[in-house]
């Protein structure tokens, strides 16, 4: 079976972002001050743990960003675009039921008329096609089987965790120039200025134990149940990780150039440049955000509908809409950071070292790049990590309003939107909602905790004004 | 003072014109009236005649900026831009696609919005400030760590979760309050209670965390040390002295949202079936009724600019050193 790689637009940008991050990491490694700050972030237990959790989400998202098409039997390439994550989760994706079933259930949620062996029908919940199909007598064997599978999975997770610890100790032994066992001991009893390795190991232990148990159960059951059309909820939740990450990061990619450019220009050149830019962001800011995004998305929707034929697959169409959504949110969301940077630049431009540079005849662009930008980068960084979680949460709201990602795309917002009315059912269908909220909460909490640590490390005064709602604290221009 | 206010009001005009240009551009230039007609009539099987008729019925049949059929001043005034955008300045919102008068809808719907938004604002402010001060009172102890982490955890929960969980647990399981709906008079209270409760809970995390940073800045100041040196108890210092001074940045920061309370909250109102402006807007977005969306954008922007003006005025009220120029 041969594969044809497919590069969707958001894939290209995601990998570009990975490259940019790698470049930034290289720059950090070479700059002592930045290295010190990042060291402080990862030396805090909370920073290390949240970074590890974020790392897992990012790995899932990246695996979901490697897309390809399979060659079918007739030699043509299939229409369906799949990703590396799909390949890894193919057992989950393939095992669909007919409709709702509860987590770890063996029987369907709804009752049907079943034909009995001796003729005649009885009204009962039918057995699932895959969930617990291997059990002879579900009532007797179910509990034991679930425990056995969970334990086997957890044991596997534990083994992976031990392997991970050994590899980490081995790598650090070379770095610390000591023996393997000395390195293990130092992981347990860290010396001063060590990173919070112990927190990393604890996080990895908990995560691997949980993931192992879930994987063990997933071999025979639907761990988080199935949705209305019988699709595995765990699979959907994992597929939604990429959507959340893309919205949280690519939007920033759009925001940053605009915000940095306009903010620095307004603060440095003042005069009419400042007036024009201030007018721009006051105008943009005064439009209710959701309405602005909604209007833009509606228009993109019409555009996509009219150019239906230029997209060769559903995945490409959904991807175009996701990208458009990121661009729209980015272009409407730069005002907060721009205002912050303008205020900071206004202060910085009066400082001695900038005046000195000007006296030496250094030009405006060079001063901005060499003297101002490096001194506001902590503000940029803090804003980026703080905005990320807000954007992930905003996706759900926008999907509810009806202007979020494409309805066929997996996203937590779409999951919530599809399942929110099912709470009125009898018996209650709660698992799609809980799965979506749970995954979203894990990602956003990790991001928020990480942002908190980053803010402490890069801005010890913590004087950065950054409320959740940028409009709520608006200082109203110059008072 | 009056001259300052007048000048600021004049300054609002170019911003509102900008807002209008943006929405007009989005709604009528990028997305032409032909497209709108097609959406409303169904994308397929649309004849040009049907489109023309729909446009004529809803008043979208004029040219965008210049009408070549008219002469003189009328060439500019008898256009879509004049009809749909500039008329908004006289708060003449025109008619919705289903023929209802938008201005009247707004007038009747702003009261339910306010009935939810005002209690959320007042109670939320009190709860958040109290929570922030309590965490500061226990600073240096384990409770502070728990509190701050709790705030971060609270703000990591989607607001949709608070709404859905609140409706499910309080209204469906316990049946204490109705799930959704709205009523007039004293009856309204039982419908208002749940949305207010849910909204306050959803805002607690980010609000309290933000106020905490303000109060922390405040307790480093000299007057706090003086108050402690006088032998006042810590609780008294916090709730009498720090609270009073900390409320200045909090209140002036909150003034900007006061006028916007009229427009309500999109998601809360539509979940709880409140017939306010938020659900009005969301219904319009779903029905792709651009006349209503445009009116709401204009109204929101105008109220926001009013909020900015009120913010500046409130600075002079609380701090006599600030002079308006």
Q: Give pLDDT tens digits for B271-291.
A: 888 898 989 988 888 887 778
Average pLDDT over residues A20-29: 92
Q: For the stretch A337-374, what's the b/e string if a residue is b when 16 or more beta carbons lie within 10 angstroms of its beta carbon?
A: bbbbbbbbbeebbeeeebeebeeeeeeeeebbeebbbe
Cβ-defined contact of B164 to A305 (cutoff 8 Å): no
> Which among B152, B153, B160 is the nearest to A416, CB-wise?
B160
Q: What is the pLDDT of residues B209-244, one digit of tens each?
A: 989 988 888 888 888 889 889 888 888 888 888 888
Residue B6: pLDDT over 50? yes
Q: How much is the pLDDT for B66? A: 67
pLDDT of residue A209: 93
Other CB atoms within a 10 A radius of the CB of residue A380 amount to 19
Are A295 and B297 a contacting pair at CB < 8 A?
yes
CA distance A396 to chain B (A): 8
Give phi and psi for A6, each to the nearest 5: -120, 130
If residue A84 lies in a helix (H) or strand (E), which one and from where to where?
Answer: helix A84-88
pLDDT of A11 strictly over 70: yes
The pLDDT score that the predictor gives to residue B43 is 59
CB contact under 8 A, B256 and A389: no
Provide CB contacts within 8 A for B117, sequence distance 6+. Answer: B261, B262, B264, B265
Q: Are B171 and A447 in contact (CB under 8 A)?
A: no
pLDDT at position A475 is: 32
pLDDT at residue number A464: 41
Copy the structure tokens of residue A112.
């049907």
The pLDDT score that the predictor gives to residue A468 is 38
Which chain B residue has the Cα nearest residue A473? Answer: B253
Residue B162 contacts A, CB cutoff 8 Å: no
- What average pLDDT is seen over chain B? 83
> Which residue in B15, B152, B281 is closest to A286 by CB distance?
B15
The stretch B96-100 carries a mean pLDDT of: 76
How many interface pairs between A and B have CB atoms less than 8 angstroms apart?
Answer: 148
d(CA A27, CA A33): 11
Q: Find the mean pLDDT for residues A211-219.
A: 89
pLDDT tens, A309-342? 777 778 888 888 899 999 999 988 899 899 999 9
Average pLDDT over residues A194-219: 90
Positive or negative: CA dihedral B319, B320, B321, B322: positive
Strands A3-6 and A82-83 come out as unpaired
A305/A77 Cα distance (integer angstroms): 25
Domain A235-457, CATH: 1.10.3720.10
- Tell me: pLDDT of A398 over 70: yes
Quote the pLDDT of residue A437.
94
Whole-number average pLDDT of chain A: 85
Q: What is the model's pLDDT at position B76?
A: 65
pLDDT: which is higher, A214 or A3 = A214
Q: How confident is the model at residue A158 (pLDDT cuts 50, 70, 90)?
A: very high
**What pLDDT does A467 receive?**
40
Q: For chain A, give the percent of residues with pLDDT over 90.
A: 30
Position B74 confidence tier, pLDDT thresholds 50, 70, 90: low
For Cα atoms A261, A446, A249, give the angle at the middle one, nearest 5 degrees: 30
Interface of B with A in 16-55 (CB under 8 A): 18-19, 22-23, 26-27, 30-31, 35, 39, 43
- Contact assignment for A471 to B257 by CB distance below 8 Å: yes
- Confidence tier at A477 by pLDDT (50, 70, 90): very low
- According to DSSP, residue A423 is labeled G
Extract the tokens encoding A384: 């980026």
Contact by Cβ (8 Å): B177, A415: no
Residue A474 has pLDDT above 50, yes or no: no
- For residue B188, give the DSSP letter: H
* 3-state DSSP assignment of residue B304: helix
Q: Which helix (H) or strand (E) holds A122?
A: strand A121-124
Residues of B in contact with A475 (CB under 8 A): 253, 311
DSSP state of B238: I
Q: Which range has the worst mean pLDDT, A6-20, A179-193, A246-260, A261-275? A: A179-193
pLDDT at B28 over 80: no
* CA–CA distance, A460 with B116 (Å, rounded to integer): 39
Residue B53 CB burial class (10 angstroms; 0-12, 13-18, ≥19): middle
DSSP class of residue A287 equals: S
pLDDT grade for B88, boundaries at 50, 70 and 90: confident
* pLDDT band for position B45 (cuts 50, 70, 90): low
- For A226, the 3-state DSSP assignment is strand
Question: Which of A393, A452, A472 is closest, CB to CB, to B152?
Answer: A452
Domain ranges of chain A: 235-457
**Does the pLDDT of residue A149 top 80, yes or no?**
yes
Whether A34 has a pLDDT exceeding 80, the answer reads yes
ipTM over 0.85: yes
Arithmetic mean of pLDDT, A380-404: 89
Q: Which residue has the tokens 């905003």?
A: A394
Q: Which helix (H) or strand (E) holds A306?
A: helix A289-306
| B285 and chain A in contact, CB less than 8 A | yes
Report B:306-325 residues touching A (Cβ under 8 A): 308-309, 311-312, 315, 322
pLDDT tens-digit profile of B191-217?
A: 888 999 999 999 999 899 989 988 888
pLDDT of residue B140 exceeding 90, the answer is no
Whole-angstrom Cα distance, residue A279 to residue B193? Answer: 40
Tokens standing for residue B292: 């209503």
Q: Say whether A420 and B296 touch across the interface (CB within 8 A).
A: no
Overall average pLDDT of the A462-477 stretch:
37
């Amino acid at each position: 079976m041969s594969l044809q790689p497919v590069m969707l637009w958001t894939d290209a940008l995601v990998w570009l972002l990975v490259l940019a991050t790698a470049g930034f990491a290289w720059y950090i490694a070479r700059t002592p001050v930045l290295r010190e700050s990042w060291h402080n972030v990862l030396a805090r237990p909370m920073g290390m743990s949240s970074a590890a959790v974020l790392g897992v989400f990012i790995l899932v998202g990246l695996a979901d960003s490697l897309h390809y098409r399979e060659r079918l039997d007739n030699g043509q390439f299939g229409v369906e675009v799949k990703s590396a994550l799909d390949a890894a989760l193919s057992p989950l994706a393939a095992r669909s039921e007919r409709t709702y079933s509860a987590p770890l259930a063996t029987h369907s949620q709804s009752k049907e008329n079943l034909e009995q062996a001796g003729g005649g029908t009885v009204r009962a919940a039918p057995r699932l096609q895959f969930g617990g199909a291997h059990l002879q007598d579900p009532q007797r064997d179910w509990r034991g089987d679930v425990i056995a599978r969970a334990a086997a999975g957890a044991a596997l997770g534990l083994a992976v965790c031990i392997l991970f610890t050994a590899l980490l100790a081995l790598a650090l032994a070379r770095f610390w120039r000591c023996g393997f066992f000395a390195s293990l001991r130092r992981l347990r009893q860290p010396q001063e200025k060590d990173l919070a390795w112990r927190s990393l190991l604890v996080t990895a232990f908990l995560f691997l134990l949980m993931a192992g148990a879930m994987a063990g159960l997933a071999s025979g059951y639907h761990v988080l149940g199935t949705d209305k059309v019988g699709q595995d909820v765990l699979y959907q939740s994992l597929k939604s990780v990429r959507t959340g990450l893309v919205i949280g990061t690519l939007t920033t990619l759009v925001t940053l150039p605009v915000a940095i450019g306009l903010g620095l220009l307004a603060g440095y050149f003042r005069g009419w440049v400042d007036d024009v830019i201030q007018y721009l962001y006051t105008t943009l800011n005064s439009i209710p955000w959701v309405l602005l995004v909604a209007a833009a998305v509606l228009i993109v929707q019409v555009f996509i509908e009219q150019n239906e034929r230029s997209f060769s697959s559903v995945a490409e169409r959904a991807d175009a809409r996701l990208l458009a959504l990121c661009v729209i949110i980015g272009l409407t969301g730069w005002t907060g950071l721009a205002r912050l940077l303008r205020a900071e630049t206004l202060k910085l431009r009066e400082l001695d070292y900038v005046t000195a540079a000007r006296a030496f005849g250094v030009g405006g662009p060079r001063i901005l790049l060499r003297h101002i930008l490096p001194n506001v980068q902590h503000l940029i960084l803090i804003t980026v990590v703080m905005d990320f979680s807000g954007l992930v949460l905003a996706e759900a709201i926008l999907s509810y309003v009806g202007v979020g990602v494409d309805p066929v795309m997996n996203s937590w917002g779409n999951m919530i939107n599809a399942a929110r009315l099912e709470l009125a059912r009898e018996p209650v269908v709660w698992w799609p909602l809980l799965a979506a909220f749970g995954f979203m909460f894990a990602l956003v909490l990790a991001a928020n905790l990480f942002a908190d640590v980053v803010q402490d490390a890069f801005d010890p005064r913590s004087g950065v004004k950054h409320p959740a709602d940028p409009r709520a604290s608006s200082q109203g221009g110059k008072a | 003072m009056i001259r300052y206010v007048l000048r600021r009001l004049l300054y609002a005009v170019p911003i509102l014109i900008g807002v209008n240009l943006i929405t007009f551009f989005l709604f009528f230039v990028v997305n032409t009236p032909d497209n709108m007609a097609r959406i409303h009539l169904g994308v397929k099987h649309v004849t040009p005649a049907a489109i023309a008729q729909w446009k004529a019925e809803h008043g979208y049949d004029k040219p965008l900026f210049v009408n070549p059929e008219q002469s003189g001043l009328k060439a500019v005034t008898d256009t879509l831009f004049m009809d749909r955008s500039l008329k908004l300045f006289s708060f003449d919102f025109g008619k919705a696609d289903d023929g209802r008068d938008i201005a009247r809808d707004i007038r009747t719907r702003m009261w339910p919005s306010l009935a939810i938004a005002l209690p959320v604002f007042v109670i939320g402010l009190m709860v958040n400030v109290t929570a922030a001060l309590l965490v500061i009172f226990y600073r240096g102890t384990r409770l502070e760590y728990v509190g701050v982490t709790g705030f971060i955890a609270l703000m990591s929960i989607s607001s949709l979760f608070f709404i859905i969980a609140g409706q499910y647990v309080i209204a469906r399981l316990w049946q204490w309050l109705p799930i959704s709906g709205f009523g007039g008079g004293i009856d309204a209270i039982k419908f208002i209670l749940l949305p207010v409760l849910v909204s306050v809970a959803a805002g607690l995390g980010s609000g309290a965390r933000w106020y905490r940073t303000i109060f922390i800045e405040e307790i480093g100041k000299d007057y706090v040390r003086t108050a402690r040196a006088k032998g006042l108890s810590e609780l008294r210092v916090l709730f009498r002295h720090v609270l009073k001074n900390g409320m200045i940045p909090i209140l002036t920061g909150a003034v900007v949202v006061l006028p916007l309370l009229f427009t309500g909250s999109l998601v809360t109102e539509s979940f709880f079936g409140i017939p306010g402006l938020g659900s009005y807007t969301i219904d319009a977005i779903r029905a792709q009724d651009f006349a209503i969306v445009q009116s709401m954008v204009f109204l929101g922007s105008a109220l926001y600019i009013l909020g900015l003006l009120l913010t500046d005025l409130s600075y002079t009220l609380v701090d006599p050193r600030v002079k308006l120029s």
